[in-house]
Structure 1
């Protein structure tokens, strides 16, 4: 599983969003993310692919994760 990070721009504002990408390889994940950007750029918000990286578990906030962070 992979995570794609996108930079969104609207006028002078910008922010980042992440999406989980289901792919067999990093190269396939990058291609899917680039295709996603091309297909979603139809409105006023401009999407740009920032990075794609592999992850072991989807980015999920769990009770266990919060408790671990509180102890750190």
Structure 2
């Protein structure tokens, strides 16, 4: 692949809010309401966190799930 070799490039595929939801650990059964705009979906999914990542970070910091305060 060389600079300017446009035929060799693949078309751009944008990541959808559903793709991001899957990456953040949402189940395959999760679905946004049909009447919700993509802009609203992006905003809502952008405010979420991956629980698996938070659980891992807390474990690294020494917190356990069975630990109280």
Larger strand proportion of the pair: 1
Instruction: Indicate the structure (1 or 2) with the bigger Cα radius of gyration.
Output: 2
Shared topology, TM-score over 0.5?
no
Q: TM-score, normalised by structure 1?
A: 0.31
Q: TM-score, normalised by structure 2?
A: 0.32
Larger helix proportion of the pair: 2
Say which structure, 1 or 2, has more relative contact order (CA 8 Å, 6+ apart): 1
